[in-house]
């Protein structure tokens, strides 16, 4: 992909993120060490890697569930679709009855369990939101690629069914016990947390998509999502979790505060204002990984100026020290998510590859007059998108074989729908 823009900062951000993210990728057949971590820097041997990429600490030889699901859209945009499917299959296949149908948390690049996070069948890292985010990831990658493997691969399909049968609860405060939240540093005794429930809600909607794409009844999954939303609105009353003895927990909780709006479970403006203020204040999470979610939160709710401000802050912090050593820019999630936030956020691209369709919505902040990204993979083809301010969008179909049904949306509700044949360009104004 290539990006040009009236904003030199945006162009530099995208180029850095694209090039840095691709340096984390391993083509199939690469040989390298396994079980490398801070306690075992030489690893325990070498192996032939799957198509894969770093998703987690750069000083460990593997990929993690939480990081993978957040990096996967950016990885797809960078041409790493084969790696996405291979990595998702690892997590899906690990959710065996022996593991309580929960996925193993981390893998070496050859598909073996990463030793630092796996001690045995009932003694491995577990965080409840990841169980459900993997289901959501399968649906998102199906929309991007149209690959039927996301519908019919036996391991992926069984995983999604079994995941929705699990509760969004933790079993303790330690990560090897199984926590209810991604906010593992606070050590709060949460039985259920806002990020786990929100991820479960999004997983139900994702399963509705997957079932419908297979020609099955999607209604039960949509109904369950609606039930979870009613439960949240009726019983949570601003809580971000509940303790094992049933007490509601309020106040700032990082991931368990911002996941409900991130997943569409909560949408009140006061909540978004609080997230922006708290994440930018003295209680900001120390790990840049947490910050990488914030542009996604604000883009989802149409706060493009706030989302762009957070993107700029993350990009500017890439040379600052990371809490685990090295620099923030050496944490793979930073580069992968900036790539996806440019395409999904600033350009507002929503793919529907199985239907040869896509939707755009300008998300440029006022300071950026125009921007164009080209070579964006949607299904079997590629497109280029240009926004000139909030009211004019140009779509170029770069494929010689695929025709797209394009829905051009604009702020305030304007919509233009048109077909874009192969190797043609269309313009929409709203």
Tens of pLDDT, residues 409-418? 999 999 999 9
Per-residue pLDDT of 23-79, as tens digits, reads: 999 999 999 999 999 999 999 999 999 999 999 999 999 999 999 999 999 999 999
* Environment class of 186 (CB within 10 Å of its CB; exposed 0-12, middle 13-18, buried 19+): middle
Q: Do domains 2-353 and 359-429 have the same CATH topology?
A: no
**Among 379, 336, 373, which Cα is nearest to 22's?**
336
Q: Does the pTM exceed 0.95?
A: yes
Q: Give me the long-range contacts of 213-220 (CB less than 8 A, separation at least 24).
A: 213/142, 213/151, 213/354, 214/151, 214/152
The residues of the chain scoring below 70 in pLDDT are: none
**Phi, then psi, of 310 in degrees rounded to 5:** -70, -35
Q: Rounded to an integer, what distance in angstroms lies between the CA atom of residue 386 and that of residue 395?
A: 7
Q: Rounded to an integer, what distance in angstroms lies between the CA atom of residue 399 and that of residue 360?
A: 18
Which tokens go with 296? 């996604």
pLDDT at residue 5 in the model: 98
pLDDT at residue 184 in the model: 86
pLDDT at residue 187 in the model: 82
Fold that domain 359-429 belongs to in CATH? Immunoglobulin-like (2.60.40)
Q: What is the CATH number of domain 2-353?
A: 1.50.10.10
**Among 115, 107, 93, 132, which Cα is nearest to 52's?**
107
pLDDT at residue 416 in the model: 98
pLDDT at residue 149 in the model: 98
Domain limits of the chain? Answer: 2-353, 359-429
């Amino acid at each position: 992909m290539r990006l040009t823009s009236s904003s030199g900062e945006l162009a530099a951000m995208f180029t850095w993120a694209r090039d840095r993210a691709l340096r984390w990728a391993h083509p199939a057949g690469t040989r390298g060490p396994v079980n490398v971590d801070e306690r075992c820097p030489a690893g325990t041997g070498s192996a032939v890697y799957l198509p894969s990429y770093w998703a987690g600490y750069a000083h460990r030889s593997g990929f993690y569930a939480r990081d993978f699901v957040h990096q996967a859209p950016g990885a797809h945009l960078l041409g790493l679709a084969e790696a996405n499917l291979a990595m998702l299959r690892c997590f899906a296949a690990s959710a065996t009855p022996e593991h309580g149908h929960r996925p193993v948390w981390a893998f070496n690049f050859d598909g073996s369990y990463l030793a630092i996070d796996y001690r045995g069948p009932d003694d491995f890292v577990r965080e409840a939101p990841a169980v459900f985010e993997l289901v959501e990831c399968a649906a998102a990658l199906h929309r991007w690629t149209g690959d039927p493997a996301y519908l019919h691969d036996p391991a992926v399909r069984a995983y999604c069914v079994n995941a929705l049968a699990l509760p969004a609860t933790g079993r303790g405060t330690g990560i090897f016990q199984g926590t209810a939240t991604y906010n593992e540093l606070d050590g709060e005794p949460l039985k259920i947390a806002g990020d786990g429930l929100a991820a479960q809600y999004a997983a139900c909607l994702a399963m509705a998509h997957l079932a419908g794409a297979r020609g099955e009844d999607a209604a039960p999954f949509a109904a369950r999502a609606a039930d979870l939303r009613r439960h949240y609105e009726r019983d949570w009353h601003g809580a971000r979790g509940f303790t094992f003895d049933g007490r509601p927990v309020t106040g700032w909780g990082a991931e368990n505060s911002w996941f409900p709006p991130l997943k569409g479970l909560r949408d009140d403006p006061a909540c978004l204002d609080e997230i922006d203020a708290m994440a930018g204040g003295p209680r900001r999470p120390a790990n840049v990984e947490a910050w990488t979610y914030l542009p996604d939160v604000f883009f989802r709710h149409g706060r493009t100026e706030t989302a762009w401000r957070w993107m700029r802050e993350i990009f500017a912090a890439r040379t600052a020290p990371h809490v685990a050593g090295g620099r923030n820019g050496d944490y793979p999630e930073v580069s992968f998510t900036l790539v996806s936030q440019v395409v999904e956020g600033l350009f507002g691209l929503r793919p529907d590859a199985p239907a040869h369709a896509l939707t755009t919505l300008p998300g440029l902040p006022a300071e950026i007059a125009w921007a164009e990204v080209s070579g964006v993979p949607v299904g079997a083809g590629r497109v280029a998108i240009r926004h000139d301010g909030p009211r004019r969008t140009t779509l170029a179909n770069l494929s010689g074989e695929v025709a797209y049904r394009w829905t051009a949306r604009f702020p305030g509700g304007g919509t233009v729908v048109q077909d874009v044949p192969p190797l043609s360009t269309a313009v929409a104004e709203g």
